[in-house]
Amino acid sequence: MAKHLLVPTLALAAALVCSLAVQTQGPMPGAVYDRDVKGEKPGPAPRRDLAGIWEPATAGGGIQGKGALAMESCKRDKATGRYMVQQNPPLTDTGYATVDCLKPEVEPPYTTEGLARLKAHKPVEGYRMVPDAVNNDPILGCDPGGFPRIVLHNFRTSEILQTPTHLVVLYKFQKRYRTIWTDGRELPKDPQQPAWTTADRLPPEPRWWGYSVGRWVDDYTFVARTNGFQDDRTWLDNAGLPQSDTTEVEETYHRVDANHLELSIKITDATLYTRPWVALDKLRLRLQSANLDIQEMECSPSDQKHYYEIFGNNTGLDPDTRK
């Protein structure tokens, strides 16, 4: 090696070794996320198998404050018409995206009622975001985010447990779970009067998370449908898109290979949207080590109260009117 290259080469090697040391110190095996590695060739997809701990293949890829249709990028490929995953959107010099980057190029197909509901929501994220002091987002008081917001807003590490009669999805965010029945039962026919109980004198029970049934449409594709939501306290996402007690959600899980799963979500609600629309298009998930310990992300009302007393309530643009 030429002498003039020796010093810079050693400096580069030292920097990379230091970086690796910091990244590998401390965590136990299985306590760090498995990420895609360039050139790897995963094995074939197992048949009718979704079980495991899943994490968005792109770090942070399931956290979608921008809103359902703006989630991947603020740019769209004009040739294909598809949104492109953009890892480096325009940033300020403090490292944050500009608000211009948050607006979807294509709005969801709102009905008049849907648009009115949207405008009544004051979210803290997305292009319509307001300061904390004037928001009306139910989850910021620790109400359940419900489904599909848990996926469209904040899909983090999640575990799927698979049994002969149902799937259970354990979500890290808000430490919640859902059951998707695969035992052949049908969705409640009237989402206004849902109840799966043999105790027929019990009243109907509208749910934050809805009623879910699913089936395999082929050996690698599982489709679940959900209805029976209780009211509009659940939003579709963090940008305030509306949901109602007539919303129906279709989830499609496609097992791509041994390491990957793709998740898509379609929304149908004739009250709020003029046609069904795809809110999530093939979010790529990566299978994690079976001994990964999923962190808690519980929402504590007492913690939230203290946060708003000290910080959130004081962010209004006018300290007297908080408007």
Partner 1 sequence: MNNAVMRTLGLAVGLLTVSVPLLAHHGAAQFDVGKKVTVKGAVTEWFWSNPHCFLRFDATGADGQVVHWAVETQSGPNILPQGFSKQTFKVGDEVTVTLEPVKNGRPMGRLLRVVLPDGSALPLATADAGQAPGNSPLN
State the DSSP code for 307: H
- Verify binding: residue 279, partner 1, rule CB under 8 A: no
State the DSSP code for 101: G
Choose between 256 and 299: whose C-beta lies nearer to partner 1. Answer: 299
Q: Which value, in Å, is the radius of gyration of the alpha carbons in the chain?
A: 22
The correct pick among 50, 53, 54, 66 for binding partner 1 (CB under 8 A) is 66
- Verify binding: residue 136, partner 1, rule CB under 8 A: no
Q: Is 37 exposed, middle or buried (0-12, 13-18, 19+ CB in 10 A)?
A: exposed
Instruction: Give me the 294-313 binding string for partner 1, x by CB under 8 A, dash otherwise.
Output: -xxxxxx--xx-xx--xx--
Residues 166-185 that bind partner 1 (CB under 8 A): none
Distance, in Å, from the CA atom of 255 to the CA atom of 47, rounded to the nearest integer, reads 9
Residues near partner 1 (CB under 8 A), total: 63
Instruction: Give me the 224-253 binding string for partner 1, x by CB under 8 A, dash otherwise.
Output: --------------x---------------
Tokens of 313: 């309530």
The correct pick among 58, 111, 162, 268 for binding partner 1 (CB under 8 A) is 58
- Verify binding: residue 316, partner 1, rule CB under 8 A: yes
Left, alpha or beta for 109 (phi > 0: left; psi -120 to 50: alpha)? beta
CA 112 to each of CA 93, 116, 117, 311: distance values in angstroms, whole numbers, following the listed order: 39, 6, 9, 36
| Nearest CA among 213, 286, 316 for reference residue 58 | 286
- Verify binding: residue 163, partner 1, rule CB under 8 A: no
Q: Which residues are at the interface with partner 1 (CB under 8 A)? A: 4-5, 7-9, 11-12, 15-16, 19, 22-23, 32-33, 58-60, 63-66, 87, 89, 91-99, 101-102, 123-126, 129-133, 154, 238, 295-300, 303-304, 306-307, 310-311, 314-319
